[in-house]
Structure 1
Amino acid sequence: MNGLVMGIKGILSFLSAPLIGALSDVWGRKFFLLITVFFTCAPIPLMTINTWWFFAMISISGVFAVTFSVVFAYVADVTTVENRSRAYGLVSATFAASLVISPALGAYLITKHNDTVIVALATAIAILDVFFILVAVPESLPEKVRPSSWGAPISWEQADPFAALRKVGMDQTILLQCVTVLLSYLPEAGQYSCIFVYLNLKMGFSSIEVSVFIAVVGTLSILAQLVLGVLMRVLGAKRTIIIGLLFEMMQLLWYGFGSETWMMWAAGILASLGSITYPAISASVSILSTPNRQGVVQGMVTGMRGLCNGLGPAMFGVIFYLFHVDLNDEHNKINNSHSIDTKLIRNETIRSGDTISQIIPGPPFVFGAMMVIVAILVASYIPENPTERVIRRVSGVSLDIQSETEKGGRKVTSAAAGPLLSPLSTLHQDSAQL
């Protein structure tokens, strides 16, 4: 059931993310930030009321599970190009901090209170979050960009997710980064769905050790993302993305071939360093895009991640099944009831399995590492710096309206473009040729 729900949620997110992003480019960020947070949190109170309603609501919430794309578009509205990478790193670090705090807080509260109290507390925090957005978060999209009323016409072709995909496909740089996200986040999503169960049942981690593992990896991820701005400024977007992918590939290989506890800890450290990949891609996509396309482009990246969240767990489950790796919790319960050492059981299971399973304890992780290698090859074709934006007249004559290069961290804009920018802005194509 959980796999089905995640699959539906991921597909709905993939379809809706470009639509919501495009609409936020026209009608503003605050409204869509409000509804995405509201519907993301809406399933929480249903956890103790009705299980089926909870699964139904969490599936439907996939339509609005695109908060990150709206947040990143909001950040792009209120930051300069030079500060955007640092701001994206701070946003991602804040999210990582929540992943560190919430499991530890939940584990503590469960020892003091029952499930109803914990769900009520989570619901109260969600309501407070929505209220905070409503009263304290200002609109970031400039008023001159927004229509005077909600009835104002917009380009529904731009809001169509498949039309947005076609337009992104015309921009080679954005397309390369979206393909990089697809190839690299697919194994990451599969890993997130099973890694803690894998550590517990196959690597012999206790529940406390798993909690400490989450805390350590999360804390290191926060530190890594806090220095994202420095890395982007010193190394550039392309090198930062490739470095993050290299760390991701190595941690997947360690998870796949590792058979000792210390190897899992080493893989976790590499995973935390690899967490810079996606904020780096989002920052790069934002810098390459025009202000009126921030929402739709961030929606494309978020949509790709949503699709991976639906397909990744299924992919890992199928590979585990094909290689006879059982992550059924019932086996763990039986082992605990007989007080048999978990490590001995794990070794015995490997000896009785296939030859490949003896060499590769975690086949899906190795397969995921190969996908990331392909992602690195794709990322190597990303241009080093955005150098030129070109528009074309109907007659076919090309005019450079905005030429930007980075020299010593400063953005230099072609002076000749200035007088042409205003009258020719309507001719600017959605997908510039690079």
Structure 2
Amino acid sequence: MNREKTATEANDNMLVRASQGRGRAKVTHAVVVIFLEFFAWGLLTTPMLTVLRETFPQHTFLMNGLVHGVKGFLSFLSAPLIGALSDIWGRKSFLLMTVFFTCAPIPFMRISPWWYFALISVSGIFAVTFSVIFAYVADITEEHERSTAYGLVSATFAASLVTSPAIGAYLSAQYGDSLVVLLATVIAVLDIAFVFFVVPESLPDKMRLTSWGFPISWEQADPFASLRRVGKDSTVLLICVTVFLSYLPEAGQYSSFFLYLKQVIEFSPAAIAAFIAMVGILSIVAQTLFLSVLMRTIGNKNTVLLGLGFQLFQLAWYGFGSEPW
């Protein structure tokens, strides 16, 4: 009887700790982490274009694509394993790891460009901050709140790019690239410190302790296992195909966008920064205001169709455009 009472009290205490931890963790924590990380990288827009052109003068676009391609492929391979491990050990430790490795190449931009590009490629193994952040948000939000929370995180990514490229371009022109890299490094360190000292764990203790009894299987860590499971549900398969076909051109555009504006369209650093700021502001408005309104008025499916239509128009304009205007 006493043993049962003790076990019950222990379970109750565990649930209390879990609910308290859940209450402390907020979407705001995820927003700050994303903002600082991509603000640091946004500062490096102008210096990165310079280093890329100076390091690979004959194969600038090719090497840019290879670096991002290797990084993306490694992220694809490692994301399921990191996700499975975070289900056991909690989100915070892996959030700290992903932020650290994502930002690790920053100081090497001035130390050694070759090491910088090599580290960017290899960092893809752990540079999956968004995956861990979305899991973090899922832990602390109800299902009906999740789409809004995800939209806020995505809008924060855009917000970080509204001013950072302009600030980086100005500082680079006035004081040189070294100061910009130093500032980006400091912000990256602040982001890591914020995760370590401020961000609470989002995964309830009860779930983590329960997970310890279940070792990770190869199927959980296998990135291709998820692809095989997708084909078993026609609805999920259609959604995944839609997302893949949408992200495929976006990824190509994102990886070469700044370089294309600089090398082909001949945008100045100030013009690139202003353009990014405009796109960022529009993205914030779309993610925070229009998204929720459209989902309530025309439904989820029509919202997706509308978004894909605008994406098609934007990519066509980007592909066929040859003038700065």
TM over 0.5: yes
1:45 & 1:80 partners in 2: Cα distance?
39
Among 287, 301, 313, the residue aligned to 1:250: 313
1:197 & 1:57 partners in 2: Cα distance?
20
Partner of 2:171: 109
Alignment root-mean-square deviation, CA: 2.2
Q: 1:132/1:59 Cα in 2 relative to 1: closer, same or farther (>3 Å)? A: same
- Shift in Å, 1:163: 1.9
TM-score (norm 2): 0.74
Aligned pairs for 1:169-248 within 5 A: 169-200=231-262, 202-203=264-265, 205-227=267-289, 228-248=291-311
Aligned residues of 1:85 and 1:232 also touching (Cα < 8 A): no
Partner of 2:70: 8
Report Cα offsets for 1:111-148 as digits up to 9, x if no partner: 33233222222111111111111111111112111136
The code of the aligned residue for 2:297 comes to V
2:235 & 2:216 partners in 1: Cα distance?
26
Among 182, 190, 213, the residue aligned to 1:128: 190
The code of the aligned residue for 1:2 comes to N
- Shift in Å, 1:173: 2.9
Tell whether 2:244 aligns with 1:168.
no
Instruction: Tell which has more relative contact order, 1 or 2 (C-alpha 8 A, sep 6+).
Output: 2
SS of 2:303's equivalent in the other structure is helix
Report % sequence identity: 68
Give the number of aligned pairs: 262
Q: 1:179/1:158 Cα in 2 relative to 1: closer, same or farther (>3 Å)? A: same
Aligned residues of 1:43 and 1:57 also touching (Cα < 8 A): yes
2:236 & 2:299 partners in 1: Cα distance?
16
Tell whether 2:212 aligns with 1:147.
no
- Shift in Å, 1:152: 5.7
Q: 1:16/1:140 Cα in 2 relative to 1: closer, same or farther (>3 Å)? A: same
Aligned residues of 1:86 and 1:230 also touching (Cα < 8 A): no
The code of the aligned residue for 1:249 comes to L
Q: 1:198/1:13 Cα in 2 relative to 1: closer, same or farther (>3 Å)? A: same
1:14 & 1:94 partners in 2: Cα distance?
23
Tell whether 2:123 aligns with 1:61.
yes
The code of the aligned residue for 2:144 comes to E
Q: 1:38/1:163 Cα in 2 relative to 1: closer, same or farther (>3 Å)? A: same
Tell whether 2:87 aligns with 1:33.
no
Structure 2 gap segments, 5+ residues each: 1-62
Q: 1:31/1:174 Cα in 2 relative to 1: closer, same or farther (>3 Å)? A: farther
1:193 & 1:56 partners in 2: Cα distance?
16
2:170 & 2:316 partners in 1: Cα distance?
33
- Shift in Å, 1:46: 1.2
- Shift in Å, 1:208: 3.1
The code of the aligned residue for 1:118 comes to V
Tell whether 2:166 aligns with 1:79.
no
1:9 & 1:136 partners in 2: Cα distance?
29
Report Cα offsets for 1:13-72 as digits up to 9, x if no partner: 111112212222333211111100010001111111122222221111001121111111
SS of 2:107's equivalent in the other structure is helix
Report Cα offsets for 1:319-345 as digits up to 9, x if no partner: xxxxxxxxxxxxxxxxxxxxxxxxxxx
Aligned residues of 2:91 and 2:202 also touching (Cα < 8 A): yes
Which protein is richer in helix relative to its size? 2
Aligned pairs for 1:378-397 within 5 A: none
1:201 & 1:2 partners in 2: Cα distance?
13
Q: 1:162/1:195 Cα in 2 relative to 1: closer, same or farther (>3 Å)? A: closer
TM-score (norm 1): 0.56
Report Cα offsets for 1:71-90 as digits up to 9, x if no partner: 11111111112211111111
2:64 & 2:259 partners in 1: Cα distance?
14
Structure 1 gap segments, 5+ residues each: 263-434
1:257 & 1:54 partners in 2: Cα distance?
33
Tell whether 2:165 aligns with 1:90.
no
1:151 & 1:48 partners in 2: Cα distance?
46
1:204 & 1:37 partners in 2: Cα distance?
33
Q: 1:245/1:169 Cα in 2 relative to 1: closer, same or farther (>3 Å)? A: same
Q: 1:195/1:38 Cα in 2 relative to 1: closer, same or farther (>3 Å)? A: closer
Q: 1:203/1:45 Cα in 2 relative to 1: closer, same or farther (>3 Å)? A: closer
Q: 1:124/1:175 Cα in 2 relative to 1: closer, same or farther (>3 Å)? A: same
The code of the aligned residue for 1:182 comes to F
Query: Quick check: 251-260 or 33-42, which moved more?
Result: 251-260
Partner of 1:19: 81
Aligned residues of 2:84 and 2:216 also touching (Cα < 8 A): no
